Chains A and B, each alone.
Chain A
Amino acid sequence: MIRILLLLLLAWHGPASAHKASTSYLQLSVHGEAVTGRWDVALRDLDYALGLDTDGDTLLTWGEVRHQQSRIAAYALRRLTLRADQDDCRLLVEGLQIADHSDGRYASLTIKGKCPHEPVSLGLHYELLFDVDAQHRGLLNLDFRGSHSALLAPEERTVRFNAAGASGFSVFTQYFRAGVSHLWTGWDHMLFLAGLFLPAVVRRRAGTWQPASSLKVALIDTSIMVTAFTLAHALTLSLAATGLFSPPVRWVESGVAASVLFAGLNNLIPMVYRHLFWLAAAFGLVHGAAIAGALIELGLPAGDRVWALLAFNLGVEAAQLAVLLVVIPPSFICRRSRYYRWLVVIPGALIITVVGALWLVQRAFDVDFAFARF
């Protein structure tokens, strides 16, 4: 009893500085999609976590460290996640060297990686050594649109770097770009639009396909549809992103799949062919709720929420209109050809229908089809 008591008393008798506590040094650069960096982790810590001293003689040699590069790499990489917006970047350890720090030798890992797309916001999650040493800290130096630093601790494992603190204009351009890139990388969004666009130059009238009378009409028609979609989309997106409305993810995702299925099917067996913009608007509401998840991941800058939301929606709209401008004129020229219908509209609609159906099953019933993963 007394022994414990004294141990306690003396345990904090000298709380002042001492040996250095466990620290890792992580330097990363993210330019475009490419990630490069270096990660220094104390050999003493790696040994404590992994047991590197294979011959148990308490002397850690270069041979022992070098031969266990893949173990060290696997251990470290499992504890570090880098996310470009909501998608994980792939990280690899390309090399292992040694670095001398003030408290001993460190394994210096050369990091290479690739993100699925150029990130607007970069998230980093760090778990190294916290399970064995609660005093461990990770010191991050990041070069990503300027240099940042962060301290990673058990109570602070995730950090995010985005447009926060930037000027209003740069917030706008960043979120505008995010909106554009959302469209380019969002397959379900694209397919739904394709479903709407495909028949824009041909019309179902009185049971037959009629070519649209002029390019102007075709462009105006599709623009109205797309804009109706975007307006509806903006409404739910803003509500969801500001936290006023949060529908269950599974329902929303299934709704998006259902909309793709419907858009495809509608070209094969026309069910709705007048006032398509109402249909576009209805599905816009569902898509908006789905994208909110992505935008929440990005994070909204505190002072510039409205700005960022507006920019994101305008980005989506601009990208959609750009797609229209590129796709509609050539389709218009080909619209009288019967090949257009048989080689483009019908196969396209079939693909859209099938993919929409697969997604619907996958999302609604939580089944994983490897070939339908986007």
Chain B
Amino acid sequence: MRFGGILAALCVVAVAPTAAAATPSYTPRSDSEVLERLAVPRLAGAATLRELREHWTAQPRSVPAALAYARAALELSRREEDPRYLGYAEAALAPWWDRPVAPPEIMLLRASMRLSRMDHANALRDLQSLIDSPAPEGHAARITRAAVRLSQGDPVASLADCTAASAYVSRLAAVTCTSAAKGLAGDAASGYAELDEALVGSAGAPLAMELWARGVAAELAQRLGRPPDARRHFEDATRRMAAADATDPGLLASYADFLLDQREPKRVQTLLAPYPRQDTLLLRLTLAERALGLAGDTAAAAAAEERTRYLTLRFDEMRQRGDRTHLREQALFELSVRGNAANALQLLRQSWANQREPIDARLYLRAAVAAKQPEAAQPVIDWLRSAGLKDVRLQPELATVLKQAPSR
């Protein structure tokens, strides 16, 4: 039935590709017609989102009530990849949102929401003031900042934060943090070895911790050109995820990217079929179905075409909303699905200021080669040199770019 709704939505998309203006309105035939199935999100704790929200509505300026509701909503936004929950969490923090100084727990949560909105400047300001404060949230702020620095392609700053925080977090968290930083600075081999060893010794780690560690391990293994190791970590992670009935869309997307690299689109299809409502995953599913379609699977080809139309509309809607959190995904879509390398390059230019992970570098290089603008990749080459990143996946495009546009 849920799938029926999606099919219906896809049909509408097919006739009305230009967003709202052209969407026809109608009167349903009968009162009993079901228009919407309302989500009843499950939370880890005993309370439901509705209960936490009622508690907050009754006393919107109470820090504990706002925090409980905002944390629950944020957890849902991550698990469901649904930005509405992020909006609920943000609304709960509204009384403190623009205050330079707020209770430390609020500031920590606010920083993480600002990161979700790609507002790195304000997030880093919040984290800095927590680190400078005597509040215990300072340690969490430091490890969060380590991860931000990493995503911004600054392994040195990231490593400094990991080291400073390591005494206050679990061994697995500390090793994951430092290994990720080392890996970005060109020392993936020792980073991977340490992490692999730490993982062996930390059976029973909290789910989220283990998923994070396995994701980093798999990424480092790929950088080193060791697909079997990467596969092992991904398989362990998805097994653990399935056992806990949890979803980590980020990890699933990385796994799908790996499988696509390994030319295993059929496995991607199986892996992602249960998540048609999550656009990052839907994009990977579309890539897999296109590959299957090229290999002669006509049903997959038709599905990919349908999904492409749907994603085009989605990206268009996000652009209209002034939403800039999806630039990398949109670049991947433009490059790999629509074959529009120039558009992809344009989007990557915009996202590069805040997002410099190996996946961004690789996309950037691919787009520059495909658009026949090797000189456009200069920022990536400069960054690779300064960070010291070594990644076998970057080699083919990097060689092409360097050959075509000898660096200054």
Contact between B328 and A59 (Cβ–Cβ < 8 Å)? no
B114 to chain A, nearest CB (A): 9
Whole-angstrom distance between the alpha carbons of A160 and B250 in the complex? Answer: 41
CB interface residues, A 8-42, toward B, < 8 Å: 8-23, 25, 27, 38, 40
Contacting B25 at CB < 8 Å: which of A19, A43, A99? A99
B318 proximity list for chain A (CB < 8 A): 17, 20-21
B13 proximity list for chain A (CB < 8 A): 102
A139 proximity list for chain B (CB < 8 A): 20, 320-321
B299 in the interface (beta carbon within 8 A): no
- A177-203 to B contact mask, C-beta < 8 Å, 1/0: 000000000000000000000000000
Contacting B206 at CB < 8 Å: which of A2, A15, A45? A2
B375 proximity list for chain A (CB < 8 A): none
A135 in the interface (beta carbon within 8 A): yes
Give the total of A residues in contact with B, Cβ under 8 Å.
63
Whole-angstrom distance between the alpha carbons of A135 and B97 in the complex? Answer: 13
Contact between B279 and A43 (Cβ–Cβ < 8 Å)? no
A60 in the interface (beta carbon within 8 A): yes
Contact between B206 and A21 (Cβ–Cβ < 8 Å)? no
B322 in the interface (beta carbon within 8 A): yes
B12 proximity list for chain A (CB < 8 A): 100-102
B94 proximity list for chain A (CB < 8 A): 131, 134
Contact between A132 and B91 (Cβ–Cβ < 8 Å)? yes
Contact between B140 and A11 (Cβ–Cβ < 8 Å)? no
A38 proximity list for chain B (CB < 8 A): 25
Residue on B nearest A40 in the bound complex, by CB: B20
CB interface residues, A 87-139, toward B, < 8 Å: 97-105, 108, 130-137, 139
A167 proximity list for chain B (CB < 8 A): none
**How many Cβ-Cβ contacts under 8 Å join chain A to chain B?**
239
Given known contacts A59-B37, A62-B33, is B23 in contact with A15 (CB within 8 Å)?
A: no
Whole-angstrom distance between the alpha carbons of A364 and B268 in the complex? Answer: 75
Contact between B209 and A153 (Cβ–Cβ < 8 Å)? no
Contact between B36 and A62 (Cβ–Cβ < 8 Å)? no
Whole-angstrom distance between the alpha carbons of A59 and B32 in the complex? Answer: 10
Interface centre among A10, A17, A105, A135 (most CB of B within 10 A): A17
CB interface residues, B 30-87, toward A, < 8 Å: 30-40, 71, 74-75, 77-78, 80-84, 86-87
B122 to chain A, nearest CB (A): 13
Contact between A100 and B9 (Cβ–Cβ < 8 Å)? yes
Contacting A14 at CB < 8 Å: which of B28, B81, B88? B81
Whole-angstrom distance between the alpha carbons of A19 and B108 in the complex? Answer: 25
B330 proximity list for chain A (CB < 8 A): 17
Residue on A nearest B211 in the bound complex, by CB: A10
Contacting A18 at CB < 8 Å: which of B9, B24, B279? B279
Given known contacts A47-B38, A53-B38, A61-B34, is B80 in contact with A19 (CB within 8 Å)?
A: yes
Contact between A62 and B28 (Cβ–Cβ < 8 Å)? yes
Identify the stretch in B235-243, B307-315, B384-392, B395-403 within 8 Å (CB) of chain A at 4 or more residues: B307-315
B81 proximity list for chain A (CB < 8 A): 14, 18-19
B264 in the interface (beta carbon within 8 A): no
Contacting B91 at CB < 8 Å: which of A2, A6, A97, A133? A133
A139 to chain B, nearest CB (A): 6
Whole-angstrom distance between the alpha carbons of A44 and B38 in the complex? Answer: 7
Whole-angstrom distance between the alpha carbons of A139 and B82 in the complex? Answer: 19
Given known contacts A15-B116, A18-B81, A137-B321, is B36 in contact with A44 (CB within 8 Å)?
A: yes
Contact between A100 and B23 (Cβ–Cβ < 8 Å)? yes
Contact between A18 and B82 (Cβ–Cβ < 8 Å)? yes
Whole-angstrom distance between the alpha carbons of A4 and B44 in the complex? Answer: 12
Given known contacts A2-B169, A141-B21, is B206 in contact with A11 (CB within 8 Å)?
A: no
Residue on A nearest B30 in the bound complex, by CB: A62
Give the total of B residues in contact with A, Cβ under 8 Å.
89
Whole-angstrom distance between the alpha carbons of A18 and B27 in the complex? Answer: 30
A102 proximity list for chain B (CB < 8 A): 9, 12-13, 310, 313-314, 317
B26 in the interface (beta carbon within 8 A): yes
A65 in the interface (beta carbon within 8 A): yes
- B127-151 to A contact mask, C-beta < 8 Å, 1/0: 0000000001001100110011000
Contacting A60 at CB < 8 Å: which of B34, B139, B328? B34
Contact between B78 and A100 (Cβ–Cβ < 8 Å)? no
CB interface residues, B 75-112, toward A, < 8 Å: 75, 77-78, 80-84, 86-88, 90-91, 94, 97, 108-109, 111-112
Given known contacts A2-B206, A20-B317, A131-B91, is B136 in contact with A65 (CB within 8 Å)?
A: no
B80 proximity list for chain A (CB < 8 A): 18-19
A151 in the interface (beta carbon within 8 A): yes
A58 proximity list for chain B (CB < 8 A): 37-38, 40
Given known contacts A18-B83, A44-B36, A61-B33, is B206 in contact with A6 (CB within 8 Å)?
A: yes
Interface centre among A1, A12, A14, A131 (most CB of B within 10 A): A12
Residue on B nearest A151 in the bound complex, by CB: B322
A11 proximity list for chain B (CB < 8 A): 74-75, 77-78, 112-113, 115-116
A338 in the interface (beta carbon within 8 A): no
B278 in the interface (beta carbon within 8 A): yes
B253 in the interface (beta carbon within 8 A): yes
Contact between B208 and A7 (Cβ–Cβ < 8 Å)? yes
Whole-angstrom distance between the alpha carbons of A17 and B317 in the complex? Answer: 11
Contacting B280 at CB < 8 Å: which of A17, A40, A104? A17
Given known contacts A62-B32, A98-B25, A151-B321, is B78 in contact with A10 (CB within 8 Å)?
A: yes
B177 to chain A, nearest CB (A): 9
Residue on B nearest A153 in the bound complex, by CB: B322
Contacting A21 at CB < 8 Å: which of B111, B115, B321? B321
Contact between A27 and B21 (Cβ–Cβ < 8 Å)? yes
B329 in the interface (beta carbon within 8 A): yes
B305 in the interface (beta carbon within 8 A): no
B370 in the interface (beta carbon within 8 A): no
Interface residues of A (CB under 8 A from B): 1-23, 25, 27, 38, 40, 43-45, 47-48, 53, 58-63, 65-66, 97-105, 108, 130-137, 139, 141, 151, 153
Interface residues of B (CB under 8 A from A): 5, 8-9, 12-13, 19-21, 23-28, 30-40, 71, 74-75, 77-78, 80-84, 86-88, 90-91, 94, 97, 108-109, 111-113, 115-118, 136, 139-140, 143-144, 147-148, 169-170, 173, 206, 208-209, 211-212, 248-250, 253, 277-280, 310, 313-315, 317-318, 320-323, 325-326, 328-330
Question: Can you report 19 residue pairs joining A to B where beta carbons are below 8 Å apart?
Answer: A9-B212, A10-B78, A10-B208, A12-B116, A13-B248, A16-B326, A19-B82, A19-B83, A21-B84, A21-B86, A21-B321, A21-B323, A25-B19, A43-B35, A44-B38, A45-B84, A61-B32, A98-B26, A134-B97
